[in-house]
Amino acid sequence: MKVLLWSVVLVLAIAASYAEGPFNYHQRIGIPEAAKIRRTEEDAAKAGVDLRIVGGSNVDISQVPYQVGLVIQILWILTSVCGGSLISNTRVITAAHCHHDGSVTAQSHTVVLGSNTIFSGGVRQTTSNIVLHPQWNPSTVASDIAVIRINAVTFTNVIQPISLPSGSQLNNNFVGQVGIASGFGRTSDGANIPNNQLVSWVRLPIITNQACASVFGSFILSSTICTNGSGGMGTCQGDSGGPLAVEVGNSRVLVGVTSFGAAAGCQAGLPAAYARVTSFVSWILAI
């Protein structure tokens, strides 16, 4: 029995060492990334750098018009960053840990819509009207999803909602499909954020939860969806709360909310994990 118990403890410890969970996200990631992104945008503006780059991993916001930036106020004096997805003219989906990461709770969120940059431009609203999933648990990363309520916005070519799964899609695990992840975060490990840093995107294969659990263990739940990180591609620091979408015909459907990745880094070739939207559609629609 003792051998079995220690085996279980060892497995959980190994899984925890692979996962960079959202606990204390703001101090570890969000606040430092916010400072870097702000400096980058200010330097670019002074230098007159053209911030509208299309191609590579950068993309114009009109290609992901549902992408939301969140500038988060912490303890009145600190700023953090996350992403989100516009799902209606009054609702944004993000990760619960972007508001409460188990250590600190945000005072407010400035929702940024229709902008290639997060600290300037676009339509901006500041709100503290956010609803966390009642089963959100920073220790187990369960139910890492939240809904932000905003004043009604006008849709344009750069501000458009993304659809939630519906009908037969609610029973689809999307394994084998290619997901589109986007955000304002880093595009590589360890690198400085360049002065042409924009919203960026990457296409990632959606994998089975079994394959994901082989890396992250019990952190992977039925309400988790994962993407393959082979080739050093995936979500990175600052992308938390942002969308994972799949293409259905000429439109996109939101299937994941960026939750956590590998402690070894964004380019380690390991999976990334997201809150599985199909598990939460009923709750979202009730907010």
Contact 224, 209 (CB under 8 A): yes
Contact 130, 103 (CB under 8 A): no
pTM over 0.85: no
Give 279 or 270, the one with higher predicted confidence.
Answer: 279
pLDDT exceeds 70 at position 100: yes
Cα dihedral sign, 275-146-258-78: negative
Cα dihedral sign, 166-134-213-94: positive
Contact 274, 204 (CB under 8 A): no
Amino acid at 83: G
CB atoms within 10 A of CB 60: 15
Q: Which residues of 122-144 are buried (b: 16+ CB within 10 A; e: fewer)?
A: beeeeeeebbbbeebebeebbbb
Secondary structure class of 26 (helix, strand, coil): helix
What local confidence, expressed as pLDDT, does residue 196 receive?
Answer: 46
> Catalytic residues, which ones?
97, 144, 240
pLDDT exceeds 60 at position 215: yes
Contact 259, 247 (CB under 8 A): no
E strands, 75-177, are 78-88, 91-94, 108-113, 123-127, 130-132, 146-149
- Reported as a single tens digit per residue, the pLDDT across 105-123 is 999 999 999 999 888 899 9
Give 29 or 128, the one with higher predicted confidence.
Answer: 128
pLDDT exceeds 90 at position 6: no
What local confidence, expressed as pLDDT, does residue 48 receive?
Answer: 36
CATH topology of domain 22-52+65-149: Thrombin, subunit H (2.40.10)
167-279 has the same fold as 22-52+65-149: yes
CATH topology of domain 167-279: Thrombin, subunit H (2.40.10)
* Rounded Cα–Cα distance for residues 164 and 282 (Å): 10
* Rounded Cα–Cα distance for residues 192 and 161 (Å): 31
Angle, alpha carbons 44-50-53 (nearest 5°): 115
pLDDT exceeds 90 at position 56: no
pLDDT exceeds 60 at position 55: no
What local confidence, expressed as pLDDT, does residue 50 receive?
Answer: 32
Give 230 or 191, the one with higher predicted confidence.
Answer: 230
Burial class (CB in 10 A: 0-12, 13-18, 19+), 116: buried
What local confidence, expressed as pLDDT, does residue 115 receive?
Answer: 96
What local confidence, expressed as pLDDT, does residue 3 receive?
Answer: 29
- Reported as a single tens digit per residue, the pLDDT across 71-83 is 999 988 898 989 9
- Three-state SS annotation for 150-215: CCCCCCCCCCCCCECCCHHHHHCCCCCCEEEEEECCCCCCCCCCCCCCCCEEEEEEEECHHHHHHH
pLDDT exceeds 50 at position 141: yes
Contact 263, 19 (CB under 8 A): yes
Q: What is the mean pLDDT of the chain?
A: 82
Domain assignments of the chain as residue spans, ordered by start: 22-52+65-149, 167-279
pLDDT exceeds 50 at position 151: yes
Give 27 or 239, the one with higher predicted confidence.
Answer: 239
